[in-house]
Every structure is written in C-alpha cells, then in structure tokens.
Amino acid sequence: MMSPVARLLVAALLALATASCEQGKAAGPDNFMGDARRGADLVKQYRCGGCHDIPGIAGAEGNVGPPLHRIGARTYIAGYIQNSPDNMADWIEDPQRALPGNAMPRMGIPQKDARDIAAFLYTLK
C-alpha cells in the first residue's frame, strides 16, 4: 500500500505528464512577431551567456542560470510559468514581475528586444 505522500507525488507527476501531452506540440512562435536572427544577436549584446549555457552562441557557457538547451520545447519557464511566446517575452523583459523573488535580475530589456530574444529561444528545440 502506498503512503499518502507517495500517492500525492504520483498524482502530481501524472498531472504534469498529462499537461505536457495535452499541448500536443511544443510552444512555438506561431503568429508571434519576433525576429529570431536579431534575437541571437541580442542574446550576445545583453550577455545572456554570462549566466546561461546557450547552444549556438559562442562563449555562452554560463552556469549561474539554467542551460537553455531545448527551451523552445519546454512546458514551463522557471518551473512555474506556462511556456508560450508571450510569457517568454514577458519573462525576458521583467522576470521579477513574472515571478517575484526568482534569481534572474531585470536586465532593462525593452519589449521589442524581448520578443526577438524569445523568437530566437524558440528555435532551440
């Protein structure tokens, strides 16, 4: 017989698995206005690789923040926010507004740049 804690853990894992299966396909830039090529340049300009390991960006080997491999295929941003192009852009623009108290600082990235960076990140699948 399973303990109540084990049952709760199994239920939570099943809910997460179901949620990602319901999505059908990974979030992506469908109908999302952003320039992925410009976004890659902005990732370099804002030095995102100082904290993150980012595929395709030379020297982006940071280990302070999570690696961004396959970020475009993930279900959640920062483990709590549903991964969508708009949510990703909001996160990049002001991560403290999106999830107060998280470790990512506000970098002063304007909305247009955040949308382009998000478009680039969605190429990482």
Cβ atoms of 20 and 75 within 8 Å: the answer is yes
Of residues 108 and 17, more confidently modeled: 108
Identify the structural domains of the chain with CATH numbers, from first to last. Answer: 26-121 (1.10.760.10)
Task: End-to-end CA distance of the chain: give it in Å, rounded.
Answer: 40
Dist. CA 31–CA 61, nearest whole Å: 31
pLDDT in tens, 38-72: 999 999 999 999 999 999 999 999 999 999 999 99
Place 3 in a pLDDT band, splitting at 50, 70 and 90: low
pLDDT per residue as tens digits for the range 66-123: 999 999 999 999 999 999 999 999 999 999 999 999 999 999 999 999 999 999 999 9
3-class DSSP state of 91: helix
DSSP H helices, the chain, are: 4-23, 36-45, 85-93, 95-98, 111-121
